[in-house]
A and B are shown apart, each in its own frame.
Chain A
Amino acid sequence: MSTDTATKPPVGVRVRSWFGDNALKFYAVIAFAYLLLPVAYTFVFSFNDAGRTNIVWQGFTLDNWKNPCGAPQVCESVVNSIVLALGVTIMSTILGTLIAFALVRYQFRGRGTTNLTIFLPMATPEVVLGSSLLALFLNIFVPLGFWTVFIAHVMFCISFVVVTVKARLASLDPRLEQAAMDLYANEREAFRRITLPLVAPGIAAAALLAFSLSFDDFIITNFNSGQFTTFPKFVYVSATRGIPAQANVIASAMFFIALALVLVSQIRNMRRKEA
């Protein structure tokens, strides 16, 4: 021990400096574990030979993965959610992008008010938004279903699209378009060859955001959907009776698909930077 202390600092100091060096890693591991634990749980229980309730582990099976539509309504609700989210994405991306262009590029009466109201849906609690919309639909006798949910989703997704596209557009130097026009590109060509390609990443990000927001939404959907069932609503409703293991299968699959998309785009980005 005495020979040790001659060459190395005392144990206490070493332990502390080891902690100092590794605290961040340690913290990151814990944080990730905390985040991933529910996902891991969901994934593991997608292999549970569950029967009616998927709460207690009853043995390993691949049946759920082989037949994800096995439980009633699971796949129907997933398809509903995908169709809805796609429609909402297209609609809100188009409208939101146009609004963003108008707000950034043009001076018009009510521009300030528009800028402000765009933020409202993001700032309002979903319960308030959902219930107000429900009141509105009931008042004007619109039957609840796919279209009421669609309208509600487009409404709040637009805000996110506008904000995302606007940020990208505001950082775009207007002199680039002017340079294009100076170089014989007319208004339409300047838009197509300069503005659009440069704003495209913002629009794509906005579309992805809109898709996931719509796909994920439960509260507003629950208020305004009537008999129409989305995947989140299905999970919520079946929670009272016991969520079928197929729901875990779908959830896990979605997680891995999203993960794969992120990885692919990261790798492509890295390749592009190297090139």
Chain B
Amino acid sequence: MSKTDITKAEGDLYLENLTKSFGDFTAVDDLSLQVPQGSFFALLGPSGCGKTTTLRMVAGLEAPTAGRIRIGDADITYEKPYRRPVNTVFQNYALFPHMDIQENVGFGLKRRGIKDVDAQVADALKLIQLEQVAKRKPTQLSGGQQQRVALARAIVNRPAVLLLDEPLGALDLKLRRQMQLELKRIQTEVGLTFIHVTHDQEEAMTMADTVAVMNNGIIEQMGPPTELYESPRTAFVANFLGQSNLFPAKVSGVDGDNVVLEDSDGRFLMPKNRVADGVNLSSGSSVLVGVRPEKINIGPLDPGQEPPSHGNYVDGVVEAASFLGVSTQYEVRTAGGDAISVFAQNLDVHGLMPVASQVRLTWLPLHGFVLDGHEDINAGVESELVVG
């Protein structure tokens, strides 16, 4: 492969300081990331955060205001869309209505001058298990079938990078779960780099090797799903991926490997390695303490009860309890005034704690995390409602 033949470029995808402005509105702001070749990469963020704009720049349908896009060594920043080894599954599929499924899927191959496309098209249709609809028109297919045809139409070209813009967004929940597995299977089978854009955190976490959480045109945090979930670095990530209890506290000192924190409900210990990068740990500086609801242990408060040995506990009153079968969700108001959610597994240890009863919440130090005190506690919370 000659280094100048961009249409055959391969390797990791690099976005370097990519910026896109529409007038004085910056949709994508100095965004940099690397997507390893062959990985399943998810770009996760709420509606309007710049995901589609980012994809369109990679596809060549939008010219960046600044920054570079590379595949391996090849700079494709200003390359025409039809010269890039990149294909897109559009948000609304964009199947060609005047062509049948076979012609749709074979379109890209034919444009690249491949004469006999039938075998490859048949293979692609087999991959998505839709051989039987080859001669139908797109409007004669269901939403899920159209979605798979759009996928086949892109995959058949074996691009270096496949872009999927909320490909499952229009499907109902059941079909979406099914297609998630399907997509994952296909990606593993063909081994292409997938960049999957979604606003559904569950979808991103189940499917992707790496998730980049995007907000307001920037990447908030990037990493494997477990890392993002267990060690969020910003309040937005903590709230957008799953749920978090966040409450403000002050650093009162450092004790060996632990940081000692104080809030209206008392003192907490946090291992230093649970503190997000760049958080000021000097005494008196304010931070946010975070604990996931399922990591909190809840029990009735007995008079004279000893505090746990690690010292991380708060006492409070149950304000609401909803029994969900596998678990019970509690809303607890602490003595210091914070509201804390708790998911208690139904182990039948304590029975159901009624509303207005006194409870004690405890958690292991390594189950919490510490964020910068300037973070907005409610960042990313509203977006939770979008998740299906």
Question: What residues make up the interface of A, taking CB atoms closer than 8 Å to B?
Answer: 173, 175-176, 178-186, 189, 193-194, 197-198
Q: Is the CB of A184 within 8 A of B108?
A: yes
Chain A residues, CB < 8 A from B157: 183-184
User: For residues 69 through 86 of chain B, which have their beta carbon under 8 Å from a beta carbon of chain A?
Assistant: 80-82, 86
One of B87-95, B247-255, B304-312, B316-324 at the interface: B87-95
Which of A180, A183, A186, A189 is most buried by chain B, counting CB atoms within 10 A of its CB? A183
Q: Are A186 and B88 in contact (CB under 8 A)?
A: no
Determine how close the nearest CB of chain A comes to the CB of B56; give it in whole angstroms.
Answer: 8
Instruction: Across the interface, name the chain B residue whose C-beta is closest to A190.
Output: B82
Which residue from B61, B98, B112 sits with its C-beta under 8 Å from A184?
Answer: B112
- A181 lies within 8 A of B61 (CB): yes
Closest to A184 in B: B111
- Bound Cα distance A186, B86 (Å): 14
Query: Which chain B residues border A181 with CB–CB below 8 Å?
Result: 60-61, 80-82
Shortest C-beta distance, A134 to chain B (Å), equals 45
Contacting pair A182 B82 (CB below 8 A) = yes
Q: Is B153 an interface residue (CB 8 A)?
A: yes
Q: Total A-B residue pairs with C-beta atoms closer than 8 Å?
A: 57
Q: Which of A176, A193, A197 contacts B94 (CB 8 A)?
A: A176
Question: Which of chain A's residues has its CB closest to B61's CB?
Answer: A178
A176 adjacent to B111 (CB under 8 Å): no
- B97 contacts the other chain (Cβ, under 8 Å)? yes
Known contacts A175-B90, A189-B111: A182-B59 contact under CB 8 Å: yes
Interface of A is mostly: helix
Taking A181-B61, A182-B88, A198-B98 as known contacts, 20 extra A-B pairs with beta carbons closer than 8 A to each other, sorted by chain A number, are A173-B94, A175-B94, A178-B61, A178-B94, A179-B88, A181-B60, A181-B81, A182-B81, A182-B82, A182-B86, A182-B87, A183-B108, A183-B111, A183-B153, A184-B82, A184-B108, A184-B111, A184-B157, A185-B111, A186-B80
Chain B residues, CB < 8 A from A185: 82, 107, 111
- Contact between A198 and B94, CB atoms less than 8 A apart: no
Please name the residue on chain B nearest to A198 by beta carbon: B98
Inter-subunit contact B107/A180 (CB<8 Å): yes
Distance from B349 Cβ to chain A, minimum over Cβ atoms (Å): 55
The answer on a CB contact under 8 Å between B96 and A194 is yes
| Shortest beta-carbon contacts, A-B, top 7 | A183-B108, A184-B111, A179-B94, A181-B81, A175-B94, A184-B82, A185-B111
Q: How many residues of B contact A (CB 8 A)?
A: 23
**B residues at A contact (CB < 8 Å):** 59-61, 80-82, 86-88, 90, 92, 94-98, 107-108, 111-112, 153-154, 157
Q: How far is it, in angstroms, between the C-alpha of A83 and the C-alpha of B364 when the chains are bound?
A: 92
Question: How far apart are the CA atoms of A38 and B81 in the complex, in Å?
Answer: 59
In the bound complex, residues from chain A placing their C-beta under 8 Å from that of B80 are 181, 186
Contacts of B112 in A (CB 8 A): 184
A204 to chain B, nearest CB (A): 14
Q: In whole Å, how far is B21's beta carbon from the nearest beta carbon of chain A? A: 18
When A182-B81, A183-B87 are in contact, do A197 and B61 touch as well, CB less than 8 Å? Answer: no
Given A175-B90, A183-B87, A184-B112; A198-B97 close (CB under 8 Å): yes
Q: What are 23 sample pairs from A and B whose C-beta atoms fall under 8 A apart?
A: A173-B92, A175-B90, A175-B92, A176-B94, A176-B96, A178-B61, A178-B90, A179-B88, A179-B90, A179-B94, A180-B96, A181-B60, A181-B81, A182-B60, A182-B61, A183-B107, A183-B108, A183-B153, A184-B82, A184-B112, A184-B157, A185-B111, A189-B111
- A184 CB, min distance to chain B CBs, angstroms: 4
For the complex, what is the distance from the CA of A100 to the CA of B143, rounded to whole Å? 32
CA separation between A90 and B96, bound complex, in Å? 28
In the bound complex, residues from chain B placing their C-beta under 8 Å from that of A197 are: 98
B82: chain A residues at CB < 8 Å are 181-186
Please give, as numbers and ranges, the residues of chain B lying within 8 Å of A189 by CB-CB distance.
111
Q: Which residues of chain B are near A179, meaning CB under 8 Å?
A: 88, 90, 94-96
